[in-house]
Amino acid sequence: MRLLLLMLGICVSVIGIGTTAEARNYPWCAQYGGALGGAKKCSFTTFQQCLADVSGVGGFCIQNSTYHPAHSSRRHHPY
């Protein structure tokens, strides 16, 4: 039984490795903890989303200097 579970786990892992992941790049970043340090999270598509995230916890929003919009001619193929 343990061998069967081990083999199943290996099969699931191999299937998972075969999928591709694409990094997302977002235009807005939240900077927490002030200008001299703290965490930075660049996962916002709008300035308003970023402001809502820092509201009440402190921090500010900045434009992501590494953001490059995706080209509209690029198509996603789901296979």
- The string of pLDDT tens digits covering residues 48-71 is 999 999 998 889 999 999 998 876
pLDDT interval class at 41 (50, 70, 90): very high
Instruction: Identify the pLDDT of residue 70.
Output: 74
**Looking at the domain assignment, is residue 46 inside a domain?**
yes
**Looking at the domain assignment, is residue 56 inside a domain?**
yes
DSSP string over the chain: -HHHHHHHHHHHHHHHHTS-------SEEEE-S-TTS--EEEEESSHHHHHHHHTTT--EEEE-TT--PPPTT------
**Looking at the domain assignment, is residue 75 inside a domain?**
no
**Looking at the domain assignment, is residue 51 inside a domain?**
yes
**Looking at the domain assignment, is residue 76 inside a domain?**
no
| Range of the structural domain that residue 60 is part of | 40-64
**Looking at the domain assignment, is residue 78 inside a domain?**
no
pLDDT digits (tens, 9 = 90+) for 6-24: 566 665 555 556 555 555 7
Total domains, the chain: 1
pLDDT interval class at 77 (50, 70, 90): low
**Looking at the domain assignment, is residue 53 inside a domain?**
yes
**Looking at the domain assignment, is residue 71 inside a domain?**
no
